[in-house]
Amino acid sequence: MSDIATPEFLNQLQSLYPAPTRYVDSGWYLAAAVAFSSSNRPEAVPCVLRHALDDLEKLPDTSDEDRRLLVRKMREGIFKSGLLSGYPKVIHALISLYEATPKEFRDTEPMRDPTRSKEEVAAAGQAYFDLQYGDTATEIQAMLRSIYPDLEHFTITAGYGYVHSFSKVISPKETSFAIIAALIANDTLSQVEWQLTGAVRNGAAVEEARGVREIALRIAMTVGVLKHKVPNI
């Protein structure tokens, strides 16, 4: 049980994100789960899951596919955030999420295709990196190469090729949300403004991007991990 993720606090967080047409498309629970994970409060992640599933139960025509997708989105967002917050935090958060997930919604096979070649993964990573960074992609990639060539290789292949470019569970827009939430909860804010703009470029409404920012900001402030001013869009 979390002393932070109370029903009242989660309701506040949920109110910060514009109401979507479909509940499972809301960015609030994804941003909250990632922010709690990145703030090293894994015990709060199951509270977000239960709150979101309870909301689903109140809606007409909710299916098991809706429930399964909601769980998968939380799991995938936390997984992707590991590139920013570190995988020890992700492991703790995913353990907490797994334990709180009904057995019928626990996946037992990888979501990503494990048979893809290194070349396919690298090509997907380069394409996603170029999409994310636009006109600045060449400059940023050259910077990564200059400070440590291994970092550039890891970023393009493992980071963007294997992790971020996969979009069958969460979209590029939602991937941006996970990145924003992780950056704010890590208090590593230099890229936040750019990522907020990138989320809009990936299909988010400005109000949605601001909502994700505010959710992560509230969590980081409540946990006490935020020391710097968070940029806005």
Q: Which DSSP state fits 163?
A: I
Instruction: Give percent of the chain with pLDDT exceeding 70.
Output: 100
| 18-71 tens-digit pLDDT | 999 999 999 999 999 999 999 999 999 999 999 999 999 999 999 999 999 999
The residues, any chain, with a CB within 8 Å of residue 38's CB and separated by 6 or more, are: 81, 84, 85, 89, 181, 182, 185, 186
Other Cβ atoms within 10 Å of 60 Cβ, number = 4
| 90-147 tens-digit pLDDT | 999 999 999 999 999 999 999 999 999 999 999 999 999 998 888 889 999 999 999 9
Give the up-direction half-sphere exposure of residue 175: CA atoms within 13 A in the CB hemisphere.
21
Supply the mean pLDDT for the chain.
95
Give the separation between CA 21 and CA 24, rounded to whole angstroms: 9
CB 93 within 8 A of CB 87: no
Give the separation between CA 122 and CA 156, rounded to whole angstroms: 6
Question: Which residue in 127, 114, 121, 132 sits closest to 157, CA to CA?
Answer: 121
- Does residue 6 come out as left (phi exceeding 0), alpha (psi in the -120 to 50 range) or beta? beta
Domain coordinates in residue numbering, the chain: 1-111+171-194+203-233, 116-165
Question: Which residue in 64, 65, 72, 77 sits closest to 98, CA to CA?
Answer: 72
Other Cβ atoms within 10 Å of 81 Cβ, number = 31
3-state secondary structure of 84: helix
What pLDDT score was predicted for residue 194? 87
| 56-92 tens-digit pLDDT | 999 999 999 999 999 999 999 999 999 999 999 999 9
Buried b (16+ CB within 10 A) or exposed e, 20-51: eeebbebbbbbbbbbbbbbbbbbbbbbbbbeb
What pLDDT score was predicted for residue 2? 76
Put simply, whether the predicted model's pTM sits higher than 0.85 gets the answer yes
